[in-house]
A and B are shown apart, each in its own frame.
Chain A
């Protein structure tokens, strides 16, 4: 206990220096937490993607549609369990800044392929029955204070005109990583209006989602599906949902990689800051270490004192940073454009990484002062003038 007392008292010997170092580590942990949250949120779609789902899209580009008739052919491929389709709608809800996904889907099959979007039986039945109904994620409902029965009016851009939908369900996300900020409505509603108002744009879907019975066969099934439409006007490119999502975020990959890199650079910088503090502290105590060695304290005691002090400062900073990073990430979510990240939360892995980083900073910062303290002979320690 006396050794802990000495570690504690040593750490608080220069209060201002220790406070500034602790604050530096806390700020670094906060920055690390925010950056890692941005990185993990950006990749949240990847985490949420299922191994047993394939996406078939137009081979040339995702923006080109596929014929509705492809669905039946895809269903006939061995290993395919269920096929559904979706179509990106776009549009504006109240304001251009109110971004969230609006997607036309097949109400009969979509929620079977995506069991992570949870609707009640009644909500599901109403959604299937009413042509102009829609379901929204719980996050959207909370954000815009919407409830079942409310009418949502969208101003179409890709599909011009005013579009009115009645909310008939609010889906709950199954997992923390599930996107609860989407709006789904019936593809039939979209298709009918296209037939009436923009003939030639009807009968198309954006992409197919294929649930397969065995994820190990994904490559083989993908090849078979693409072979079905080879040399047609709309060739397909089928890939796993993960690969599809990866392709989506690839365009921002460099920025995300840079942010990822920066989060670790911050850890490195603060390691140098604490290292510098510890070197100064150990240097100032050269004579004291010589005294302690003279009294019979061994290398392990000196290591314990320096390492203990370094860990005390780094863990204190880490704890302070973690204490603040949770509300800061929550308030950060409020200021970023709505719907920019479908899921923006501090992940457990980020917290574990931050704690590990604090420990690593503490240990690494103590290495050089320990080496110096141990290498200094007692007689040289007494001669030392700081």
Chain B
């Protein structure tokens, strides 16, 4: 079976104040469908950049990026936005929920870009909230939830469109030990029970242990 994610000779350089800052150097990486991979490395090693490239929210300067046989490096901004909506679920370190929307509305947000009816959207959003164990808090606003609960809502938002891959940038980075444990258990469940391909970036070796594989980045190189 071909890998669901195939990174070929990808390089990325940022321009900061007229200076070229190389972040990734000729990266090659393959991730099998249904895998749970943790990317580790010190700050500035390029792990978030690699995650962003794979998730299609940034573009490489060189190389090819195949996700489910689509070379996303060649897609236009509009096409890439549509591709992300259909294929990627995002989990952020700081949850990034819309504060004026309830948990339900936040989870429903990605579904507004689909052709689903209101009833279908409701059903799907409630199912996602049920999976993360927060159906009873769906009318609560983010400020009425704990950090761990906010992150679970963010996970529900990430899975509500049933994406091919789920990416998480330090998904436990802002949580206490117990909440982090809950989130990692939930990610494990999504991987094992729902066969989701998951890629996370983490500093935390304990979090990385919960993944099937771990890769390390150092100064822009996979080691």
Instruction: Give the interface of A toward B (CB within 8 A).
Output: 2-3, 5-6, 9-10, 13, 287-288, 291-299, 377-379, 382
Partner of A378, one of B58, B78, B110: B58
Contacts of B69 in A (CB 8 A): none
Cβ of B112 and Cβ of A294 under 8 Å apart? Answer: no
User: Does B81 contact A287, Cβ atoms closer than 8 Å?
Assistant: no
Residues of B within 8 A of A3 (CB): 112
| A interface SS class | helix
Chosen A-B contacts, 27 in total, with CB atoms closer than 8 Å, are A2-B109, A3-B112, A5-B105, A6-B100, A9-B100, A9-B101, A13-B99, A13-B100, A287-B96, A291-B92, A291-B96, A291-B98, A292-B109, A293-B57, A294-B55, A294-B90, A295-B84, A295-B85, A295-B157, A296-B81, A296-B113, A297-B113, A298-B81, A299-B78, A378-B52, A378-B57, A379-B58
Binding site for A on B (CB under 8 A): 52, 55, 57-58, 78, 81-82, 84-86, 90, 92, 96, 98-101, 105, 108-110, 112-113, 157
Given that A9-B101, A295-B110 are contacting pairs, would A288 and B81 also be in contact in the complex, using a CB cutoff of 8 Å? no
Task: Tell me whether A2 and B112 are in contact (CB under 8 A).
Answer: yes
Whether B100 lies near A297 (C-beta < 8 A) is no
A378 (CB) vs chain B CBs: closest residue: B57
Q: Of the candidates A2, A13, A293, which one forms a contact with B81 in the assembled complex, judged by CB atoms under 8 Å apart?
A: A293
How distant is the Cα of A3 from the Cα of B82 in the complex, in angstroms?
A: 18
Q: Identify the 10 closest CB pairs spanning chains A and B, nearest first.
A: A296-B85, A9-B100, A378-B57, A291-B96, A295-B110, A296-B84, A298-B81, A296-B81, A296-B113, A379-B58
- CB B5 to nearest CB in A, in angstroms, measures 18
Contact of A379 among B57, B84, B109, B112 (CB under 8 A): B57
A288-B98 in contact given A297-B81, A298-B81 (Cβ < 8 Å): yes
Q: Give the chain B neighbours of A378 by CB distance below 8 A.
A: 52, 57-58
Please, how many angstroms separate the alpha-carbon atoms of A298 and B109 in the complex? Answer: 13
In the complex, chain B residues whose CB is within 8 Å of the CB of A288: 96, 98
Chain A residue nearest to B86 (CB atoms) is A296
A residues within 8 A CB of B78?
298-299
Q: A295 touching B52 by the CB < 8 A rule? A: no
By a CB distance below 8 angstroms, the chain A residues around B105 are: 2, 5
Q: Are A2 and B108 in contact (CB under 8 A)?
A: yes
| Among B58, B82, B92, B98, contact of A296 (Cβ-Cβ < 8 Å) | B82
